[in-house]
Structure 1
Protein backbone atom coordinates (compact mmCIF):
# COMPACT_ATOMS: atom_id res chain seq x y z
CA UNK A 1 0.00 0.00 0.00
CA UNK A 2 1.15 3.53 -0.73
CA UNK A 3 -0.18 6.95 0.24
CA UNK A 4 -0.25 9.86 -2.17
CA UNK A 5 -0.23 13.40 -0.79
CA UNK A 6 -1.70 16.44 -2.44
CA UNK A 7 -2.97 19.91 -1.70
CA UNK A 8 -4.59 22.87 -3.38
CA UNK A 9 -6.17 26.15 -2.40
CA UNK A 10 -9.30 28.13 -3.15
CA UNK A 11 -9.89 31.87 -3.19
CA UNK A 12 -13.46 31.91 -1.84
CA UNK A 13 -15.34 29.66 0.54
CA UNK A 14 -18.09 28.67 -1.89
CA UNK A 15 -19.38 25.21 -2.79
CA UNK A 16 -18.48 25.79 -6.44
CA UNK A 17 -14.84 26.60 -5.69
CA UNK A 18 -14.50 23.80 -3.14
CA UNK A 19 -15.87 21.20 -5.57
CA UNK A 20 -13.88 22.51 -8.55
CA UNK A 21 -10.55 22.60 -6.68
CA UNK A 22 -11.15 19.20 -5.09
CA UNK A 23 -12.08 17.62 -8.43
CA UNK A 24 -9.04 19.16 -10.12
CA UNK A 25 -6.68 17.87 -7.42
CA UNK A 26 -8.21 14.39 -7.29
CA UNK A 27 -8.11 13.98 -11.07
CA UNK A 28 -4.50 15.21 -11.20
CA UNK A 29 -3.47 12.71 -8.50
CA UNK A 30 -5.13 9.93 -10.49
CA UNK A 31 -3.54 11.02 -13.78
CA UNK A 32 0.00 11.54 -12.48
CA UNK A 33 -0.04 8.19 -10.71
CA UNK A 34 -1.68 6.27 -13.57
CA UNK A 35 -4.69 5.25 -11.48
CA UNK A 36 -7.47 4.35 -13.87
CA UNK A 37 -9.96 2.51 -11.71
CA UNK A 38 -11.41 2.81 -8.25
CA UNK A 39 -10.32 -0.70 -7.32
CA UNK A 40 -6.77 0.67 -7.07
CA UNK A 41 -7.79 2.92 -4.17
CA UNK A 42 -8.26 1.89 -0.56
CA UNK A 43 -9.57 5.21 0.80
CA UNK A 44 -9.15 8.98 0.68
CA UNK A 45 -8.76 11.40 3.56
CA UNK A 46 -9.43 15.07 2.85
CA UNK A 47 -8.67 17.85 5.30
CA UNK A 48 -9.54 21.52 5.05
CA UNK A 49 -8.40 24.57 6.93
CA UNK A 50 -10.93 26.10 9.30
CA UNK A 51 -11.84 28.83 6.79
CA UNK A 52 -13.40 26.25 4.43
CA UNK A 53 -16.88 25.23 5.56
CA UNK A 54 -19.34 25.97 2.72
CA UNK A 55 -19.38 22.37 1.43
CA UNK A 56 -17.92 18.91 1.90
CA UNK A 57 -15.00 18.39 -0.53
CA UNK A 58 -15.61 14.62 -0.37
CA UNK A 59 -18.67 15.14 -2.57
CA UNK A 60 -16.38 15.97 -5.52
CA UNK A 61 -14.59 12.63 -5.11
CA UNK A 62 -17.84 10.68 -4.78
CA UNK A 63 -19.13 12.33 -7.95
CA UNK A 64 -16.07 11.37 -10.00
CA UNK A 65 -17.26 8.80 -12.53
CA UNK A 66 -16.17 5.31 -11.52
CA UNK A 67 -15.04 6.38 -8.04
CA UNK A 68 -18.46 6.62 -6.34
CA UNK A 69 -17.77 3.80 -3.87
CA UNK A 70 -14.30 4.78 -2.69
CA UNK A 71 -14.43 5.48 1.07
CA UNK A 72 -13.79 9.18 1.66
CA UNK A 73 -13.43 10.95 5.01
CA UNK A 74 -13.29 14.70 5.53
CA UNK A 75 -11.91 16.51 8.55
CA UNK A 76 -10.56 19.84 9.68
CA UNK A 77 -6.85 20.68 9.87
CA UNK A 78 -5.27 21.86 13.09
CA UNK A 79 -5.51 25.70 13.06
CA UNK A 80 -1.79 26.43 13.29
CA UNK A 81 -1.03 30.18 13.38
CA UNK A 82 0.32 31.57 10.10
CA UNK A 83 -0.40 28.37 8.16
CA UNK A 84 -1.57 28.43 4.55
CA UNK A 85 -5.23 29.54 4.49
CA UNK A 86 -8.04 28.19 2.30
CA UNK A 87 -6.22 24.89 1.81
CA UNK A 88 -7.57 21.46 0.89
CA UNK A 89 -5.23 18.54 1.55
CA UNK A 90 -5.47 14.94 0.35
CA UNK A 91 -4.09 11.61 1.50
CA UNK A 92 -4.99 8.94 -1.05
CA UNK A 93 -4.34 5.35 -0.01
CA UNK A 94 -3.69 3.02 -2.93
CA UNK A 95 -2.49 -0.47 -3.75
CA UNK A 96 0.19 0.82 -6.13
CA UNK A 97 3.33 -1.27 -6.01
CA UNK A 98 5.93 1.38 -6.71
CA UNK A 99 8.96 2.61 -4.78
CA UNK A 100 8.20 5.62 -2.59
CA UNK A 101 10.20 7.92 -4.85
CA UNK A 102 8.06 6.87 -7.83
CA UNK A 103 4.85 8.18 -6.24
CA UNK A 104 3.74 11.53 -7.68
CA UNK A 105 2.50 13.84 -4.94
CA UNK A 106 0.52 16.76 -6.36
CA UNK A 107 0.54 20.34 -5.09
CA UNK A 108 -1.49 22.90 -7.01
CA UNK A 109 -2.16 26.64 -6.83
CA UNK A 110 -0.86 28.33 -3.67
CA UNK A 111 -0.32 24.94 -2.00
CA UNK A 112 2.90 24.55 -3.98
CA UNK A 113 4.64 26.37 -1.12
CA UNK A 114 3.87 23.47 1.22
CA UNK A 115 6.22 21.02 -0.48
CA UNK A 116 8.26 22.76 -3.20
CA UNK A 117 10.57 19.75 -3.18
CA UNK A 118 7.69 17.59 -4.49
CA UNK A 119 6.20 20.01 -7.05
CA UNK A 120 6.66 18.64 -10.54
CA UNK A 121 7.35 20.88 -13.52
CA UNK A 122 3.89 20.16 -14.98
CA UNK A 123 2.30 21.47 -11.75
CA UNK A 124 4.32 24.68 -11.75
Structure 2
Protein backbone atom coordinates (compact mmCIF):
# COMPACT_ATOMS: atom_id res chain seq x y z
CA UNK A 1 0.00 0.00 0.00
CA UNK A 2 1.20 3.49 -0.84
CA UNK A 3 -0.10 6.58 0.92
CA UNK A 4 0.45 10.02 -0.62
CA UNK A 5 -0.41 13.26 1.13
CA UNK A 6 -0.67 16.46 -0.88
CA UNK A 7 -0.24 19.21 1.70
CA UNK A 8 -1.11 22.89 1.39
CA UNK A 9 1.74 25.36 1.03
CA UNK A 10 3.66 25.31 4.31
CA UNK A 11 6.94 26.80 5.51
CA UNK A 12 8.59 23.35 5.63
CA UNK A 13 7.85 19.83 4.46
CA UNK A 14 5.81 18.87 7.55
CA UNK A 15 4.45 22.23 8.67
CA UNK A 16 6.04 21.62 12.07
CA UNK A 17 8.10 24.78 12.09
CA UNK A 18 7.82 28.45 12.92
CA UNK A 19 6.78 30.19 16.11
CA UNK A 20 3.31 28.63 16.46
CA UNK A 21 2.94 25.01 15.41
CA UNK A 22 -0.47 23.45 14.80
CA UNK A 23 -0.76 20.44 17.17
CA UNK A 24 -2.62 18.51 14.45
CA UNK A 25 0.40 18.85 12.13
CA UNK A 26 2.69 17.70 14.93
CA UNK A 27 0.50 14.64 15.59
CA UNK A 28 0.32 13.75 11.93
CA UNK A 29 4.05 14.27 11.28
CA UNK A 30 4.83 12.03 14.25
CA UNK A 31 2.44 9.32 13.01
CA UNK A 32 3.90 9.45 9.49
CA UNK A 33 7.43 9.24 10.89
CA UNK A 34 6.45 6.18 12.99
CA UNK A 35 4.89 4.47 9.97
CA UNK A 36 7.88 5.22 7.75
CA UNK A 37 10.22 3.76 10.40
CA UNK A 38 8.14 0.57 10.22
CA UNK A 39 8.78 0.44 6.46
CA UNK A 40 5.44 1.69 5.15
CA UNK A 41 5.50 3.72 1.94
CA UNK A 42 4.26 7.22 2.70
CA UNK A 43 5.10 10.34 0.72
CA UNK A 44 4.18 13.93 1.51
CA UNK A 45 4.21 16.71 -1.04
CA UNK A 46 4.06 20.36 -0.02
CA UNK A 47 2.44 22.70 -2.56
CA UNK A 48 5.12 25.36 -1.92
CA UNK A 49 8.10 22.99 -2.26
CA UNK A 50 6.78 20.28 -4.61
CA UNK A 51 4.39 21.92 -7.10
CA UNK A 52 5.55 19.51 -9.80
CA UNK A 53 4.18 16.55 -7.82
CA UNK A 54 0.74 18.18 -7.90
CA UNK A 55 0.85 18.62 -11.67
CA UNK A 56 2.27 15.11 -12.27
CA UNK A 57 -0.57 13.45 -10.36
CA UNK A 58 -3.86 13.77 -12.25
CA UNK A 59 -6.04 13.27 -9.16
CA UNK A 60 -4.12 15.90 -7.19
CA UNK A 61 -4.08 18.28 -10.15
CA UNK A 62 -7.82 17.87 -10.83
CA UNK A 63 -8.62 18.30 -7.14
CA UNK A 64 -6.54 21.46 -6.91
CA UNK A 65 -8.18 22.95 -10.01
CA UNK A 66 -11.70 22.06 -8.85
CA UNK A 67 -11.48 22.85 -5.13
CA UNK A 68 -8.50 25.19 -4.83
CA UNK A 69 -5.60 25.18 -2.39
CA UNK A 70 -7.81 25.93 0.62
CA UNK A 71 -9.30 22.42 0.34
CA UNK A 72 -5.90 20.76 0.85
CA UNK A 73 -4.66 18.38 2.13
CA UNK A 74 -5.77 15.43 0.05
CA UNK A 75 -4.81 11.88 0.91
CA UNK A 76 -4.41 9.22 -1.77
CA UNK A 77 -4.19 5.53 -0.99
CA UNK A 78 -2.87 3.49 -3.90
CA UNK A 79 -3.73 6.37 -6.22
CA UNK A 80 -7.31 6.90 -5.02
CA UNK A 81 -8.50 9.90 -3.00
CA UNK A 82 -9.55 8.63 0.43
CA UNK A 83 -9.69 11.98 2.29
CA UNK A 84 -9.58 15.68 1.70
CA UNK A 85 -9.53 18.88 3.74
CA UNK A 86 -8.12 17.12 6.82
CA UNK A 87 -5.49 14.63 7.90
CA UNK A 88 -6.31 11.03 8.83
CA UNK A 89 -6.61 10.33 12.55
CA UNK A 90 -4.26 7.90 14.24
CA UNK A 91 -7.18 5.46 14.43
CA UNK A 92 -7.69 5.66 10.66
CA UNK A 93 -3.96 5.24 10.01
CA UNK A 94 -3.78 2.24 12.34
CA UNK A 95 -6.72 0.61 10.54
CA UNK A 96 -5.27 1.29 7.09
CA UNK A 97 -1.85 -0.11 8.03
CA UNK A 98 -3.16 -2.82 10.38
CA UNK A 99 -1.16 -1.78 13.43
CA UNK A 100 -2.04 -0.78 16.99
CA UNK A 101 -2.85 2.93 17.16
CA UNK A 102 -0.69 3.26 20.29
CA UNK A 103 2.31 2.66 18.03
CA UNK A 104 1.58 6.03 16.40
CA UNK A 105 1.56 8.14 19.53
CA UNK A 106 4.39 10.58 19.91
CA UNK A 107 6.92 9.03 22.21
CA UNK A 108 8.12 11.34 24.99
CA UNK A 109 11.80 12.05 24.83
CA UNK A 110 13.85 11.16 27.84
CA UNK A 111 16.26 14.01 28.35
CA UNK A 112 17.24 13.74 31.97
CA UNK A 113 19.84 15.97 33.51
CA UNK A 114 21.58 15.33 36.79
CA UNK A 115 22.77 18.33 38.76
CA UNK A 116 24.94 17.90 41.79
CA UNK A 117 24.05 20.75 44.15
CA UNK A 118 27.43 20.60 45.87
CA UNK A 119 29.10 21.39 42.53
CA UNK A 120 27.04 24.59 42.27
CA UNK A 121 28.30 25.87 45.63
CA UNK A 122 31.94 25.89 44.52
Give the structure-1-normalised TM-score. 0.31
RCO higher in 1 or 2 (8 Å CA, sep ≥ 6)?
1
The structure with the greater share of residues assigned to helix is 2
Give the structure-2-normalised TM-score. 0.31
The structure with the greater share of residues assigned to strand is 1
